[in-house]
Structure 1
Amino acid sequence: MILFLICVAALIAGYFIYGAFVEKVFGVTPARPTPAYSQKDGVDFVPMSTPKVYLVQLLNIAGVGPIFGPIMGALYGPAAMLWIVLGCIFAGAVHDYFSGMLSVRNNGESVPSLSGRYLGRGAKHFMNLFAIVLLLLVGVVFVSAPAGMITNLVNDQTSWHVEVGTMVAIIFAYYILATIVPVDKIIGRFYPFFGALLIFMSVGLLAAASYSDQHSILSQFTASDMLTNLNPNDMPLWPALFITIACGAISGFHATQSPLMARCMENEKNGRFVFFGAMIGEGVIALIWCAIALSYFDNLEGLSAAITNGGPGNVVYASSFGLLGVVGGVLAFLGVVILPITSGDTAFRSSRLIMAEYFNVEQKGIRNRLFMAAPLFVLGGILTQVDFGVIWRYFGFANQATAVMMLWTASAYLLRHNKLHWITTVPAIFMTAVCVTFILNNDTLGFGMAMNVSTIIGLIASLITTFYVIRISKGKGEAPLEPSSVNVENPSQPVDA
């Protein structure tokens, strides 16, 4: 338990110390009007209170990733917890902060447009395609996963019998509705409650495990195990761990979600709490589920068997009901099910906005929103017929590759403004090496090359990309938007750029 508490304390300290440093490097201007006011349209640009924006952001970014990923990553032992802590503070939270704040500074633009502004038109076109593919994969994953989990719950705990296909249709119907209605009608109204429920149930599970007679949190591990690969299946830690645990450490999906709340945030000074803070909150959730996975099954062999018998969803089901009983288990399980549903609908919403931005189609009218959303749902429906395991593997790589693009975009921005770019460049270099090594070495998705060769090429690719971004940031690429010259507190007075 002490090991877990140290990890949580490190995340909290990271928010107050490193988060404040990152905020200072970026340089917020509280008097600058945010897109919630300057672009207000009553649909996607709607001012909302800071606590509400934070909880919606947390729920948007926390799909099954901070649960399924840490459960799968727990097979490597406490090394997974070390990556969650370091990745969350120095990569994920920084990534989320800049994806949100750069959107705030550029009229609520999505990540493809931001990449175009700071990395050039080629990056914009590439990211438009890549982001849409990622979001479609996310939408499909976050339809299939909750549909299967709800079906298992209903069939096991009641006398009713439902089919997975029925649940998929119901969830898709909800996604269509949530994608096209104004952001404050469903997402802004109900998601803060769901976000609070997520936090409550995660803490409840941890407390139950802590006071359980049969289970104790991380009692069989020591701090030195954090530096050891304990995977019972002899799976290499590099680079797979950094792809497996994404949303709990760093996730490109978040870059597609942060602009949604950038369009609703009332003041730039709230950015650290909303974007950096939500990622730290997700890191705590990831730590909880990683600790439960490491502790509930007594050893890693037991965890491996549970995953083999039913995937990470089986781990969630067994631990929820085993620790909290039937009533508590149902509530905890539903709290987990809510995560992918509330991220799936915002994935399709983000897709709609990225498409509309790319084709310059205004979204105030519902007919235009339907026009943009319809083909996305048709493609999503087709992809639900593909094997879930295949979709999940492609999602993992696409997710981290998107994070790499966002980090390089942030580095280009900082270089343009003569600010300390290493806070994004260092994690960008690391994650570039991870992604290139993974795709070159992986037999299923990539080229099946030897690990040492793949790693060397990955490191070389990171260095080449670093020099390229530094070069193009000296004037090439699309120029960023000029900062607003209106003082939100006193419209007659300009603000500093």
Structure 2
Amino acid sequence: MYTFMAGIALLVVGYFTYGKIVERIFGVNEQRQTPAYSHSDGVDYLPMNKKKNMLIQLLNIAGVGPIFGPIMGALYGPVAFIWIVVGCIFAGAVHDYLTGMISIRNRGAHLPELAGKFLGNGMKHVVNAFAILLLLLVGTVFVTSPAALLHNLMDGAVGLGVILGAIFIYYLLATFLPIDKIIGKLYPAFGALLLISAVGVGVMLLVTGAPIPELTLTNMHPASAPIFPLLFLTISCGALSGFHATQTPIISRTTQNERHGRKIFYGMMIAEGVIAMIWAAAAMSLFQGPVGLNELLASGGPAAVVSEASGLLLGAIGGTLAVLGVIVLPITSGDTAFRSARMIIADYLKVPQKKLLNRIWIALPLFVVSFALTKIDFTILWRYFSWANQSTAVIALWVGAMYLFVAKKNYWIAMIPGIFMTMATMTYILNAGIGFGLSLNVSYIGAVIVTLAVIALFYRSAVKARANEMPIDLPMKDWEQAA
């Protein structure tokens, strides 16, 4: 229990200390007009207040990742707490803050456009395809997982297909309509449900004296699977998630002032880390250790763990509310996943989004493909999602490092986690069955070679960009032309 409580405390302290350091390094300009005003279109670009942006950002980024990921990561034991806390403070929150703020400085640009600007035009096309793939996987995972939870909650009284259809209809409306019409109005209620469920589970873990394992040298990692790289891909959204890089531009287009950035981007990632800590602790303590947890996962997946833990800790009524809070998370990320995909494609094809018809013909094919993907087994989808998710985070961290290098600022805050996750994602895809299937030792060697090559390419490009005085921020006089 002490490890769990210390982890929560460190996350809060990290926001007030390292968060301020990152903000100072980036350099906030409170006088600079944000895209919400300079590029206003009444659909995606429009100013919303800080509290609403914070809540929407939290619900955008906190899908099933900070719950399902930590639940599966709990199989690795208390070492999972280390990755959630350290990863969240020094990687995930930095990642979210930099992608959000750099997007604000570049008319609310999405990751493919930023990658093209800072990593070369060829990367724009690669990242565009990669981001669309990730968002389709996210949207699909975040349709199937809440549908399964609702189906179980209602004891099968309503067919799974009917629930899937209802969620898809909501996603369609949230994707097409202006952001303040559905998302801006529903998220406050959804947010209250989310906070009640997460806080309720966390408090009851402490009140009931749940045997949350402590971090010790002998109890750090009871699982047989290697920690590296699997842990760092299994627990993604609760520590570091590339999906967030696709979501922050939604809010960068509605942020009123740059000084709000730390609370919106860095702070909401810390909040997600707290949610991840709570569910990792619940999974570790309520099912007689890794063996019992593994059996429950094998029989019903992470959704079964959520239902069982909620009922054990909060009773029938409280447990139902907690499950509803968990259901809210993927739904409020799935809707913005499709919205982000629509915006990224529109930016890539240079199609204005003020007309509803333009939004419809871009988004409809996404829903058709996503519906087809719902027929694939969830565990397979999750493996591809995990790798695509962390690979996107790697790209975003290198974009942040390039921005700071050219600006002659401390780029190591992005480069160090970027190097680490480049190693992790490359090791995984070289070793995994869904990748090249090489032995772990060969995968380590291959990952080191690729990572060193990436570092060399980064410095070659960064030095050249700094020498040529690359304009890292879009000058305000260019807004009209860029639009």
Q: What TM-score, normalized to structure 2?
A: 0.96
Cα deviation for residue 224 of structure 1 reads: 3.3
Partner Cα separation in structure 1 for residue 252 and residue 258 of structure 2: 9
Whether 1:482 and 2:474 are equivalent positions in the alignment is yes
Aligned ranges 1:152-167 → 2 under 5 Å: 152-155=152-155, 161-167=157-163
Deviation string, structure 1 residues 418-443 (Cα, Å, up to 9, x no partner): 1111110000000000000001111x
Tell me the residue number matched to 1:271. 261
Tell me the residue number matched to 1:492. none
Return closer, same or farther for 1:163/1:16 CA change in 2, 3 Å cut-off: same
Tell me the residue number matched to 1:221. 214
In structure 1, give the amino acid aligned to 2:416: V
Tell me the residue number matched to 2:166. 170
Tell me the residue number matched to 2:353. 363
User: Among 403, 414, 428, which residue is 1:413 paired with?
Assistant: 403
Conserved 8 A contact 2:70-2:276: yes
Tell me the residue number matched to 2:481. none
User: Among 292, 300, 319, which residue is 2:290 paired with?
Assistant: 300
User: Among 218, 222, 227, which residue is 1:230 paired with?
Assistant: 222
Tell me the residue number matched to 2:422. 432
Q: Give the gaps of 5 or more residues in structure 2.
A: 479-483
Q: Give the gaps of 5 or more residues in structure 1.
A: 487-497
Tell me the residue number matched to 1:150. 150
Return closer, same or farther for 1:41/1:82 CA change in 2, 3 Å cut-off: same
Cα deviation for residue 480 of structure 1 reads: 3.9
In structure 1, give the amino acid aligned to 2:161: G
Partner Cα separation in structure 2 for residue 188 and residue 348 of structure 1: 16
Conserved 8 A contact 1:55-1:196: no
In structure 1, give the amino acid aligned to 2:187: Y
Give the match's secondary structure for 1:224: coil
Aligned ranges 1:246-261 → 2 under 5 Å: 246-261=236-251
Tell me the residue number matched to 1:136. 136
State the aligned residue count.
Answer: 475
Partner Cα separation in structure 2 for residue 421 and residue 107 of structure 1: 22
Give the match's secondary structure for 1:473: helix
Give the match's secondary structure for 2:170: helix
In structure 1, give the amino acid aligned to 2:132: I
Cα deviation for residue 173 of structure 1 reads: 0.7
Return closer, same or farther for 1:482/1:221 CA change in 2, 3 Å cut-off: closer
In structure 2, give the amino acid aligned to 1:457: G
User: Among 186, 195, 198, which residue is 2:194 paired with?
Assistant: 198
Give the match's secondary structure for 2:476: coil
Partner Cα separation in structure 2 for residue 457 and residue 89 of structure 1: 28
Please tell me the root mean square deviation across aligned C-alpha atoms, in Å: 1.5
Tell me the residue number matched to 1:64. 64
Partner Cα separation in structure 2 for residue 373 and residue 92 of structure 1: 29
Deviation string, structure 1 residues 89-144 (Cα, Å, up to 9, x no partner): 11100000011001100000101001011011111000000000000000000011
Deviation string, structure 1 residues 378-398 (Cα, Å, up to 9, x no partner): 111111122222111111100
Whether 1:181 and 2:174 are equivalent positions in the alignment is no
Tell me the residue number matched to 2:29. 29
Conserved 8 A contact 1:11-1:284: yes
Tell me the residue number matched to 1:86. 86
Conserved 8 A contact 2:71-2:280: yes
Aligned ranges 1:383-398 → 2 under 5 Å: 383-398=373-388
Conserved 8 A contact 2:48-2:255: yes
User: Among 298, 306, 326, which residue is 1:336 paired with?
Assistant: 326
Conserved 8 A contact 1:134-1:395: yes
Partner Cα separation in structure 1 for residue 52 and residue 36 of structure 2: 14
Conserved 8 A contact 1:139-1:344: yes
Deviation string, structure 1 residues 10-54 (Cα, Å, up to 9, x no partner): 111111111111111111100000111111111101111111100
Q: What TM-score, normalized to structure 1?
A: 0.93
Tell me the residue number matched to 1:124. 124
Partner Cα separation in structure 1 for residue 163 and residue 215 of structure 2: 43
